[in-house]
Amino acid sequence: CNTDACPPAVACVVSDWGGWGPCSKTCGGTGQKERNRSMKQPPQNGGAACPDLSEKTDCTSPSCAVDCVMSEWTTWTQCSSTCGWAPGEQSRERSQTTAPQAGGRACPVALKETQEC
């Protein structure tokens, strides 16, 4: 029969939580971020188990800026003058293909250019 006293139970000891990591979503929407802590003392002799060493939570990241995108200029139109002595005019156009968002660079005002020909 064993008459030795059992060693006392030692509960797990963990550190304080570290800081939250970055959000997994970088440009708008919901992602997750994580923080961790470490085990300072493992449980011994039937002591209480360690709690979770990491945890996650939802996070929302701000929208990322989207700059305006313009189409290429069209080719110049045919000159409006049909005879060589009177000056004419020709033009070309472009359009906005992507609107600026969340503080992105604005579109240029000029959608049409004209020149003498």
Tens-digit pLDDT string for the chain (117 aa)? 667 788 899 999 999 999 999 999 888 789 999 999 999 999 999 999 999 999 999 998 888 889 999 999 999 999 888 777 778 899 999 999 999 988 899 998 889 999 998
In terms of C-beta distances under 8 Å and separation of at least 24 residues, what long-range contacts does 104-109 make, across chains too? Answer: 104/65, 104/66, 104/67, 104/68, 105/65, 105/67, 105/68, 106/68, 107/68, 107/70, 108/68, 108/70
